[in-house]
């Protein structure tokens, strides 16, 4: 072991047995920022020039190898050396360079490793080129080197999806050469010693088997069908599929494509989403507040929502006690939960040992007092104030004083539910989206009296459940449903003004929504919203514009897909435009003497996005949402807003 050599503020090295062991230490994720690139290129020059050095190991400090290029540098003036320059120098070095992947090697991090002459990973490592998720293609050789190691079809599948591979898969694919047990540096130094004096395997010099169009179609079909008009996945496929051409030509095309995409609106939107997700959990007033420990979660109401939450909780390692009104209902709930777990087992998401462990952590009951061991109780019972308030009153008596009560209400006022308890400070809202074991979004509702550590616990539990928590204040429908109501209202105004459901849906789908609004209504069923409109009818101000078209549809028995007819007809299950719906719309327009006009797709989008953004501004002004980016996350993760458009607040510019 020798002294530490400093190549830059973030790159240092020690020399072990004549091998330069270079460590990148650029917290939080060792991104290849300008200083890292500078340090690495100095280290490479040193290794090449210094006769006593026989080879080099590159590794990362902390739990990451390299998280990728520094996304925060995107959009700023380029600083030499570029990442491709550094990577080229690694590959060309006359002495062996071994990558010791101590943790995640993503994006530019994996590209750097692909240019090393040998790759070793520790069990904590994960590998991937997730650039398409940021609206770009790999820009430092990934689309050209990966197919040289694993073939074109496998490279397409990994890069165009942005999927992360674990080490065993990476080894069997041929991305990795070796797995290391405990001390990865010892293994890497050993590997360098073996490589000294042997012909080095330079990835860029390997041949790529010519592409087979059928294979390319097969490997790209799934990802491209999900791309919803995004450019990056298709560009990635193009670059990989042509990687059998001269290496330098492929690299130049890749870099040019990367630079164009990097400066696009789509990439800016996806970067906005990336940083928004990390920002969302930073909540004012919670700095230094520790969450309460939660091991056992109670779930009241084991219907679809309660069962979904139970599955999410079991998967995250919690013990779950389910409560329903009578033993038969509780037992039915248990069966529903087991059924969902069995689906995970069948799909391979869960292995047998995991299934057994999760079912062993589940119990159900119809007796309130059985919830006494719970650290947190979440209710998912019928959305009625009296029902929920009564339940919370009863729970207040049986759970420990430090246990937390959460309501999953969508529309009721959680402050009123909290006031039914003796300790409203321990009440918060946890608004899950259905199906709760699948949907990532979780609105965490800060009620009037929620204690800071209770809110912090809600956020910590959400993270453990692998959800994306967004904090919201109390308002009818919270962030998501309030914006959704404004959007829906505007869509109905558009209908009355002259647009047809299929035109509105086409405009939304073209924009990138997976489904148009009216198709979504039909899928969800129209009767619940109809019942709510009837309940609210007496309170509706006469001066407010109200569109009755949806009521007419429901009165005609058109309650959505389940009834075979809604905004569309479904002969043989296929969605079809129905002249009867057009006739209902026209009759309503005539009743109000509206002269219908036509709308272009752009006009439709402008009106709908404008309505969402205006409601978003109101939520910010009222202090319900802390930041515009939180609103974007809610609409992207709960309501199908296309991530590559950045959300309604980002899209308004
Ligand atoms: N550049 C700049 N900052 C980054 C970054 C990156 N590539 N990756 C993460 N960060 C920042 C985050 O913004 C966050 O900052 P904050 O603390 O100020 O909020 C901090 O690092 C920690 O991030 P996470 O909360 O995500 O930390 P985790 O430990 O949960 O996850 C990770 C670590 C798996 C590396 C995850 O951060 C991640 O997936 N990062 C992005 C990976 C990626 O997309 N890489 C490709 C970049 S583009 C590229 O490489 C182009 C190339 O082809 C030329």
Interval 460-476 mean pLDDT: 97
Q: Measured from the CA of 279, which atom of ligand 1 is nearest? A: 19
Predicted confidence at residue 346, as pLDDT, reads 95
Predicted confidence at residue 223, as pLDDT, reads 80
Residue 652 has pLDDT above 70, yes or no: yes
Predicted confidence at residue 536, as pLDDT, reads 84
Residue 1 has pLDDT above 80, yes or no: no
Give, using CA atoms, the residue closest to atom 24 of ligand 1: 278
Give the catalytic positions in this structure. Answer: 111, 131
Give, using CA atoms, the residue closest to atom 29 of ligand 1: 29
Give, using CA atoms, the residue closest to atom 31 of ligand 1: 29
Preceding amide of 179 cis, omega within 30? no
Beta bridge partners of 297: 320, 376
- Helix or strand holding residue 569 (H, E): none
Q: Measured from the CA of 275, which atom of ligand 1 is nearest? A: 13
Q: Measured from the CA of 133, which atom of ligand 1 is nearest? A: 44
Q: Measured from the CA of 282, which atom of ligand 1 is nearest? A: 19
Residue 182 has pLDDT above 90, yes or no: no
What gap in Å lies between CA 8 and CA 12, rounded to an integer? 7
Cα of 62 from ligand 1 centre, angstroms: 14
* 130 in contact with ligand 1, CB cutoff 6 A: yes
* 106 in contact with ligand 1, CB cutoff 6 A: yes
| 236 contacts 132 by C-beta, under 8 angstroms | yes
pLDDT tens digit sequence for 574-607: 999 999 999 999 999 999 999 999 999 999 999 9
Preceding amide of 28 cis, omega within 30? yes
Residue 168 has pLDDT above 70, yes or no: yes
Rg of the chain taking only CA atoms, in angstroms: 28
CB atoms within 10 A of CB 277: 17
**What sign results for the dihedral spanned by CA atoms 146, 147, 149, 153?**
positive
Predicted confidence at residue 278, as pLDDT, reads 95
Residue 255 has pLDDT above 70, yes or no: yes
Predicted confidence at residue 573, as pLDDT, reads 87
Cα of 404 from ligand 1 centre, angstroms: 33
Residue 528 has pLDDT above 90, yes or no: no
* 270 in contact with ligand 1, CB cutoff 6 A: no
Residue among 297, 293, 436 at smallest CA distance from 361: 297
Alpha-helical segments (H) within 133-264: 142-150, 152-161, 167-173, 184-195, 213-226, 231-241, 247-262
What gap in Å lies between CA 299 and CA 313, rounded to an integer? 10
* 83 in contact with ligand 1, CB cutoff 6 A: yes
Residue 653 has pLDDT above 80, yes or no: no
* 72 in contact with ligand 1, CB cutoff 6 A: yes
Cα of 69 from ligand 1 centre, angstroms: 9
* 626 in contact with ligand 1, CB cutoff 6 A: no
Predicted confidence at residue 502, as pLDDT, reads 98
Cα of 612 from ligand 1 centre, angstroms: 29
Interval 240-267 mean pLDDT: 97
pLDDT tens digit sequence for 268-316: 999 999 999 999 989 999 999 999 999 999 999 999 999 999 999 999 9
Q: Measured from the CA of 64, which atom of ligand 1 is nearest? A: 35
Residue 2 has pLDDT above 70, yes or no: no
Residue 306, token pair as written in the block: 């309660």
Write down the mean pLDDT value for the chain.
Answer: 96
Distance set, CA 216 to CA 139, 186, 248, 441 (Å): 21, 40, 22, 34
Predicted confidence at residue 383, as pLDDT, reads 84
Domains within the chain, CATH numbers bracketed: 5-263 (3.90.226.10), 296-472 (3.40.50.720), 480-623 (1.10.1040.50)
Give, using CA atoms, the residue closest to atom 13 of ligand 1: 275
Predicted confidence at residue 78, as pLDDT, reads 87
Kindly indicate the confidence band of residue 228, based on its pLDDT and cuts at 50, 70 and 90: confident
pLDDT tens digit sequence for 107-160: 999 999 999 999 999 999 999 999 999 999 999 999 999 999 999 999 999 999
Tokens 């040193």: give the residue: 46
Cα of 516 from ligand 1 centre, angstroms: 33
């Amino acid at each position: 072991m020798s002294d530490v050599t400093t190549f830059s503020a973030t790159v240092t090295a020690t020399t072990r047995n004549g091998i330069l062991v270079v460590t990148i230490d650029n917290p939080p994720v060792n991104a290849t920022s300008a200083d890292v690139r500078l340090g690495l290129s100095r280290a490479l020059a040193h290794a090449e020039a210094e006769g006593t050095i026989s080879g080099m190991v590159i590794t990362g400090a902390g739990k990451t190898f390299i998280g990728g290029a520094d996304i925060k540098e995107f959009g700023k003036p380029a600083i030499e050396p570029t990442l491709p320059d550094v990577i080229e120098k690694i590959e060309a070095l006359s002495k062996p360079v071994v990558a010791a992947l101590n943790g995640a090697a993503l994006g530019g991090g994996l590209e750097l490793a692909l240019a090393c002459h040998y790759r070793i990973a520790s069990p904590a490592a994960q590998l991937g080129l997730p650039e398409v998720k940021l609206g770009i293609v790999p820009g430092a050789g990934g689309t050209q080197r990966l197919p040289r190691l694993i073939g074109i079809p496998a490279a397409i599948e990994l890069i165009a999806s942005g999927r992360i591979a674990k080490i065993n898969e990476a080894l069997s694919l041929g991305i990795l050469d070796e797995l290391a047990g405990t001390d990865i540096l010892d293994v890497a130094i050993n590997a360098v010693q073996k490589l000294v004096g042997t012909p080095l395997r330079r990835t860029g010099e390997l041949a790529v088997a010519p592409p087979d169009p059928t294979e390319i179609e097969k490997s790209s079909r799934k990802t491209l069908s999900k791309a919803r008009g995004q450019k990056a996945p298709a560009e990635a496929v193009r670059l990989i599929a042509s990687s059998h051409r001269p290496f330098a030509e492929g690299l130049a095309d890749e870099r040019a494509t990367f630079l164009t995409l990097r400066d696009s609106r789509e990439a800016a939107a996806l970067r906005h989403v990336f940083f928004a997700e990390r920002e969302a959990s930073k909540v004012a007033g919670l700095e230094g507040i520790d969450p309460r420990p939660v091991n056992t979660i109670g779930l009241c109401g084991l219907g679809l929502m309660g069962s979904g939450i139970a599955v999410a909780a079991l998967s995250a390692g919690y013990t779950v006690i389910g409560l329903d009104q009578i033993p038969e209902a509780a037992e039915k709930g248990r069966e529903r939960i087991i059924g969902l777990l069995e689906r995970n087992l069948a799909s391979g998401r869960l292995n047998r040992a995991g299934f057994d462990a999760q079912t062993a952590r589940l119990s159900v009951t119809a007796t309130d007092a059985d919830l006494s061991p719970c650290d947190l109780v979440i209710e998912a019972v019928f959305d009625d104030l009296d029902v929920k308030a009564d339940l919370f009153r009863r729970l207040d008596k049986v759970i420990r004083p430090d246990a937390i009560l959460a309501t999953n209400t969508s529309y009721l006022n959680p402050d009123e539910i909290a006031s039914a308890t003796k300790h409203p400070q321990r009440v918060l809202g946890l608004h899950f989206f259905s199906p709760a074991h699948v949907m990532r979004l979780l609105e965490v509702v800060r009620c009037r009296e929620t204690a800071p550590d209770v809110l912090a616990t809600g956020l910590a539990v959400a993270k453990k459940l692998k959800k994306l928590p967004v904090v919201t204040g109390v308002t009818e429908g919270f962030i998501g449903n309030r914006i959704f109501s404004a959007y829906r209202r505007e869509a109905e105004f558009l209908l009355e003004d002259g647009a047809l459901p299929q035109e509105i849906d086409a405009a939304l789908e073209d924009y990138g929504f997976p489904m148009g609004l009216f198709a979504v209504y039909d899928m969800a069923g129209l009767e619940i919203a109809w019942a709510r409109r009837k309940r609210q009818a007496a309170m509706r101000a006469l001066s407010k514009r109200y569109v009755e078209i949806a009521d007419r549809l429901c009165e005609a028995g058109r309650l959505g897909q389940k009834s075979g007819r809604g905004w569309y007809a479904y002969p043989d299950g296929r969605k079809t435009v129905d002249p009867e719906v057009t006739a209902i719309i026209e009759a309503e327009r005539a009743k109000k003497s509206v002269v219908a006009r036509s709308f272009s797709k752009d006009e439709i989008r402008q009106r709908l996005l404008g309505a969402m953004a205006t409601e978003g501004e109101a939520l910010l002004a009222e202090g319900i949402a802390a930041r515009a980016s939180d609103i974007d996350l809610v609409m992207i993760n709960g309501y199908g807003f296309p991530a590559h458009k950045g959300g309604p607040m980002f899209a308004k510019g």
